[in-house]
Amino acid sequence: MNSASARRERASAWVRYLNTAIAPFDDIRVRQALNCAVDRNRLVAIMGAMARFRVTCQILPPNFPSYRWYCPYTTGARDGRCHGPDLVKAKELVRLSGTRGMAVTIRGTAEDHELNSYVATVLRQLGYTVKFREVSPTLDSGLLRDLRHVQITSAPGWIADYPAGSNFYDAAFSCKTAMAGAGWYCNPQVERAAAEAHQAQVSDPAKASSLWTEVDRLITDDAPVVALGNATSNTLISTRVGNYQSSPMVGPLLSQMWVR
């Protein structure tokens, strides 16, 4: 049987969560420094053991409403794309913060050891001391709830339930509905922008889409997470299949296809 492969972007975001309530990540300069220093190509290479990923600096995934390329944490052209880590800027931000030498604890599952080790290497390059708290993968659902006890944690990535920027915000970044009830992140400026976007969704969808783009950029600038990548997947399709269509949420739309 002849076949072809179709690649699709999944409406998902995979991140490392930073504790914005305690030092050193209560300082935006440190959060931005870590985002500048990580090599995002290295991140997706490590993540590639689980699935195929593409580089990102932001929360909303490609091919998603309100998505616009945006990466303030890169060397090279400021065209919204990620071109490489900026370790010089990162070290300068750490110097300005006065936090060099502080201890940072990374909490995550043992199966994420390579990823945790890479983040630790970057933090040591920036002048921090690092230790791990690794747990069984069966406990990963509680990692975000325990973020208040450590500075960095892993947790399951978010896959959209429906195609709107509000889905990512409400699930993980809202003051009211912080993921897992952890009270993990709350930025009043972002909250106000999100409230305006929510209100516009009813009467002016085009305006709402633009506002969710702004919310995405505000969160990216505030750097409460390190974006690891957006998952992609391949679907094997017979050459006898016509009208192949796919949704970033649910995958191939079988009801839209036909077979000779």
Closest CA to 151 of 38, 18, 31: 18
Cβ density class 177-193: b for 16+ within 10 Å, e for less: ebbbebebbebeebbeb
Considering the chain, what percentage of its residues have pLDDT values greater than 70? 77
Per-residue pLDDT of the chain (260 residues; tens, 9 = 90+): 444 444 445 567 889 999 998 999 999 999 999 999 999 999 999 987 555 778 999 999 887 889 999 999 999 998 999 999 999 999 999 999 999 999 999 998 888 899 999 999 999 999 999 998 888 775 555 666 667 678 998 876 777 777 788 888 988 898 886 555 555 788 999 999 999 999 999 899 999 999 999 999 999 999 999 999 887 544 555 666 666 555 444 455 555 566 77
Cα 181-122-71 angle, rounded to 5 deg: 70
**Measured torsion, CA atoms of residues 222, 224, 229, 235, in degrees rounded to the nearest 10:** -100
CATH superfamily, with its number, for domain 3-160+223-236+246-251? Dipeptide-binding Protein; Domain 3 (3.10.105.10)
Closest CA to 260 of 239, 236, 235, 237: 239
Is-contact 251 8, C-beta < 8 A? yes
| CA–CA dist 126, 151 (Å, integer) | 15
Closest CA to 249 of 123, 65, 35: 65
13-28 per-position pLDDT tens digit = 889 999 998 999 999 9
Query: Which tokens sit at 160?
Result: 């959209």
Closest CA to 58 of 204, 158, 198: 158
The number of residues making up the chain comes to 260
Residue whose entry in the numeric block shows the structure tokens 């990620």: 82
Cα 69-228-194 angle, rounded to 5 deg: 55
Query: Which tokens sit at 230?
Result: 């957006």
Q: At 180, which amino acid appears?
A: A
| CA–CA dist 73, 58 (Å, integer) | 10
Radius of gyration of the chain (CA): 19
Closest CA to 23 of 151, 152, 123: 151
141-198 per-position pLDDT tens digit = 566 666 767 899 887 677 777 778 888 898 889 888 655 555 578 899 999 999 999 9
Beta bridge partners of 259: 241
Whole-number pLDDT of residue 229: 87
Whole-number pLDDT of residue 256: 57
Closest CA to 131 of 112, 146, 150, 147: 150
